[in-house]
Amino acid sequence: MKGIYSALLVSFNEDGSLNENGLRQIVRHNIDVCGIDGLYVGGSTGENFMLPTEMKKRIFSIVADENKGQVNLIAQVGSLNIEESVELAKYATDLGYNALSAVTPFYYKFTFDEIKHYYNTIINSVDNKMIIYSIPFLTGVNMSVDQFGELFENEKIIGVKFTAGDFYLLERLRKAYPDKLIFSGFDEMMLPAVVLGVDGAIGSTFNVNGKKSKELFYLAKEGKIAEALNLQHEVNDFITDVLDNGLYQTLKGLLSLQGVDAGYCKRPMKSQTEEMKKGTEKIYRKYFA
């Protein structure tokens, strides 16, 4: 389960419907061109929290069918509707996903006991494994080392996708739970996360920049820090340009320029403006041409 996982982009048609052929092309690009180790399906990058349940299921199904066991698959099934989470967990497990993940429940200020019940309810409903998705800057949910430990008491909860800038907490987690999987969730902070002992990384920019990101990861793992730092500088130049131009729209635009039908973003996200298209073309010429 270790290594580089793309937080999978999803192709939509202009009317918001799922572009199934485009999704298959994105999967193939990640596996065949970017050479990633796995796919994290149904996360923020997949615009998951704007989708109806049946569309989420269809995405899980298409990805599994196109992948055909080539790389590891993680299904993000978290939702404010716990019945939906359980339904998706069962569906993805039946499809053969290697593990599940679930974002911490957000919006309402849930107590830790409520959060713990949420995770145990989801993972105890299936014969599978759970990776906590911790992204406090979007959810407002911060957990301590001891609270992560309480969740890890359930042996089916095997790790965490750590999308936070608190590297003191990351170091404490790594030391306290050496046998749990920890994935870095910020592409721009991969090098320091690897130095602190993460087992892998899950990122949105890997959909287009997977080769270089994977090279960075393994350089850092091998202790070649100077080389890895130079590569992190290059990766972060790219990330800065993408963020300045519009994250998801630019990533989809870059895929389109490489012949992948990456489609549109789901409303209320806007489509690429003419200015954004010009910016995307400039980024493509700078980093990929």
Residues in binding site: 44-45, 163, 185, 187-188, 202, 204
The rounded distance, in Å, linking the Cα atoms of 151 and 120 is 8
- Quick count: other Cβ atoms within 10 Å of Cβ 112? 14
Annotated binding site for aceneuramate: 44-45, 163, 185, 187-188, 204
**Which one of 56, 116, 129, 161 is the catalytic residue?**
161
The rounded distance, in Å, linking the Cα atoms of 245 and 2 is 31
Q: Is-contact 83 46, C-beta < 8 A?
A: no
On the 0-12 / 13-18 / 19+ scale of CB atoms within 10 A, 168 is exposed
Annotated binding site for pyruvate: 45, 202
On the 0-12 / 13-18 / 19+ scale of CB atoms within 10 A, 67 is buried
* Three-state secondary structure call for residue 85: helix
Q: Provide the token pair at 99.
A: 């593990």
Which H helix or E strand runs over 72?
strand 72-76
Q: 252-268 burial string, b = 16+ CB within 10 Å, else e?
A: bbbbbbeebbbbbbbee
**Which one of 133, 248, 252, 264 is the catalytic residue?**
133
Q: Is-contact 188 203, C-beta < 8 A?
A: no
Residue 133 annotated as catalytic: yes
Residue 108 annotated as catalytic: no
Closest CA to 66 of 29, 118, 11: 29
Cα 133 to chain centroid, rounded:
9
Cα 120 to chain centroid, rounded:
22
Facing residues of 7 across strands? Answer: 40
Catalytic sites, residue numbers = 133, 161
